[in-house]
Structure 1
Amino acid sequence: MPSALPPLDELLARAHVVSLPLSTRFRGITLREAMILEGPNGATEFSPFTEYEDAEAATWLRAGIEFGWGDEPSPLRRRIPVNATMPAVAPDRVEAVLARYDGCRTVKVKVAERGQSLADDVARVAEVRRLMGPEGRVRLDANAGWNVDEAERAIHALAEFDLEYVEQPCPSVEELAEVRRRVTHMGIPIAADESVRKADDPIAVARADAADLLIVKAQPLGGIHRALAIVREAGLPVTVSSALDTSVGLALGAHLAACVPELPYDCGLGTASLLAADVTDEPLLAHGGSVDVRRVDVSQRMLRDYAAPPERDAWWRDRLTRCYALLSHDEH
Structure 2
Amino acid sequence: MSEPVLSIRNLSISFRTGNGMVNAIRGVDLDLHRGETVAIVGESGSGKSVTVKAIMRILSGNQTINSGTIAFRYEREGRQVTEDLLKLSKKDMRSRINGKRIAMVFQDPMTSLNPTMTVGNQIMEGMMIHLKKSRAEAYKRALELLQLVGITDPEKRMKSYPHQLSGGMRQRVVIAIMLACDPEVLICDEPTTALDVTIQAKILELIKDIQKKTGISVIYITHDLGVVAKVADYVAVMYAGKIVERGSVNDIFYDPRHPYTWGLLSSMPDIETESEKLFSIPGSPPNLLHQVEGDAFAPRNVYALNIDFKQEPPMFRVSDTHYAATWLLHENAPAVQMPQTLRDRLDKVMKEVGDPWKTDALSCR
**Shorter-chain TM-score: which interval?**
0.3 to 0.5
Structure number with the bigger relative contact order (C-alpha 8 A, sep ≥ 6) is 1
TM-score, normalisation: structure 1: 0.32
Task: Pick the structure with greater CA Rg.
Answer: 2
TM-score, normalisation: structure 2: 0.30
**Bigger helix share:** 1
